[in-house]
Amino acid sequence: MSDPLRPDGLYPMRLQRFLARAGVASRRGSERLMTAGRVRVNGQVVTELGSKVDPARDVVTVDGRPARIEERPRHLMLYKPAGCLTTMSDPHGRPTVADLVPCDEAPGLYPVGRLDLDTTGLLLFTTSGDLGQALLHPSRHVTKHYVALVSGTPDERDLERLRRGVELENEGVSAPARAELLSPGDPLFSVVAPRGPGRTGGGERNAVVGLTIHEGRKHQVKKMMQAVGHKVLRLHRDAFGPLRLTRLVEGAWRDLDEAEVAALEALVSR
């Protein structure tokens, strides 16, 4: 976790780790540079492998050339699996998304919004507080696309109610949304219904609904579907603003590419 006293998120760290993060060499390579006497900290040669440096204060050089960590913001997406909490630490030691993303390499990384314990799919992480806050601000209307396996089959009236807005328990009416039934031929259908169309315990047929919303209330999709009489059995998010969940298997993360970062920045600079 980042320390509010160290907004750069950099803590005293082992010299070989510092050198690796500064892009000088791998950790092993950095150790070799150290033992060869090529690394100085504040002018002193340091060969001791356990030595620590404070990136904010110490001057590190390799063969006389300065080494420093460029703290560019880091943005990445995780394909969140079911069964892990959207939090960076859990006092009860349960699995969290922090176990899956590179917190060591990118101190200050935090999730933008949250997905429920049982929800899978795209979860954005960033080290930029400004970007994260801007994306979550309700006025920004950042869209999120979900696919939900639901009990029963919503009819056109249910879908129309979801599109116009439904009364949510103690929370007023949901904002207009896009809602459609997905056919088994839709590539997203199998993400939540891998065994094809099925039936719930009561013998009722399941259906898969695609829902695009821009609000981010707690359990929003589940509550919206419940309001039209269809319980969510599985929920997956495949898009967040301009981002699509691509090139990832469940549980894996990847850095956003340049085009994705540019699209996010364009969205928040509107």
Catalytic residues: 116
How far apart are the C-alpha atoms of 81 and 78, rounded to whole Å?
9
Stretch that binds ligand URA, among 22-30, 62-70, 90-98, 112-120 (CB under 6 A): 112-120
Helix (H, G, I), strand (E, B) or coil at 67: strand
Q: Is residue 222 within the footprint of ligand URA (CB under 6 A)?
A: yes
**Position among 115, 227, 228, 267 found at the interface with ligand URA (CB under 6 A):** 115
Q: How many chain residues are in contact with ligand URA, going by CB under 6 A?
A: 8
Q: Is residue 116 within the footprint of ligand URA (CB under 6 A)?
A: yes
- Hunting for tokens 């896009």 — which residue is that? 178
12-to-9, 16, 35, 48, 73 alpha-carbon distances in Å = 10, 12, 20, 15, 19
124-to-46, 127, 141, 260 alpha-carbon distances in Å = 39, 11, 16, 11
Q: Which is nearer to ligand URA, 53 or 213 (CB)?
A: 213
Q: Is residue 151 within the footprint of ligand URA (CB under 6 A)?
A: no
Q: Closest separation between CB of residue 157 and ligand URA, Å?
A: 22
**Position among 2, 16, 119, 127 found at the interface with ligand URA (CB under 6 A):** 119
Angle between helices 220-227 and 156-164 (to 10 degrees): 130
Q: Is residue 220 within the footprint of ligand URA (CB under 6 A)?
A: yes
Q: Closest separation between CB of residue 113 and ligand URA, Å?
A: 8
CA 19 to chain centre: 27
Residues in the chain: 270
Site string for ligand URA, 223-242 (x = CB under 6 A): ------------x-------
Q: Closest separation between CB of residue 115 and ligand URA, Å?
A: 4
How far apart are the C-alpha atoms of 119 and 74, rounded to whole Å?
24
Helices (H) and strands (E) in the chain, counts: 7, 17
Site string for ligand URA, 66-105 (x = CB under 6 A): ----------------------------------------
Binding site for ligand URA (CB under 6 A): 115-116, 119, 219-222, 235
